[in-house]
Amino acid sequence: MLQAHTNSGGHILGNGFLAFIWAALMVCTAITVLVARVDLGFLNVVAALGVATAKALLVILFFMHLRYENSLLRWMVFMAFVILAICIGFTFFDLAWRP
């Protein structure tokens, strides 16, 4: 009974699975370094941020265990990032159209 109160309900991530996530993160890092060497203009920024976001998702969902948490916590984290996106996005609505 004590167990149910004090841990995450016994959901354990396997060593092999964690190593797989690590390998995926390493591949992403290699991709982002290699893509940066090619001059794609503005697309370089898009690629760098896209790969970084893919890496962030891997860390949040699996290393930080969010994929296996209850929906309340998942929505809370989602909303925190939505607020950050609004903050950055609205600033750029202003900046981008400023002469």
Under the rule (CB under 8 A), what is the footprint of other proteins? Answer: 2-3, 5-8, 10, 12-15, 18-19, 21-22, 25-26, 29, 32-33, 36, 44-45, 48-49, 51-52, 55-56, 59-60, 62-65, 69-70, 72-73, 76-77, 80-81, 83-84, 87-88, 91-92, 95-96
CA dist., res. 47 & res. 53, Å (int) = 10
Alpha helices in the chain (DSSP H): 2-6, 15-37, 42-58, 71-96
Q: How far is the CB of 76 from other proteins (least distance, A)?
A: 6
Q: How far is the CB of 86 from other proteins (least distance, A)?
A: 11
Tokens coding 6: 């004090």
Q: How far is the CB of 22 from other proteins (least distance, A)?
A: 4
Neighbours of 29 (CB within 10 A): 13
Helix count and strand count (H, E) for the chain? 4, 0
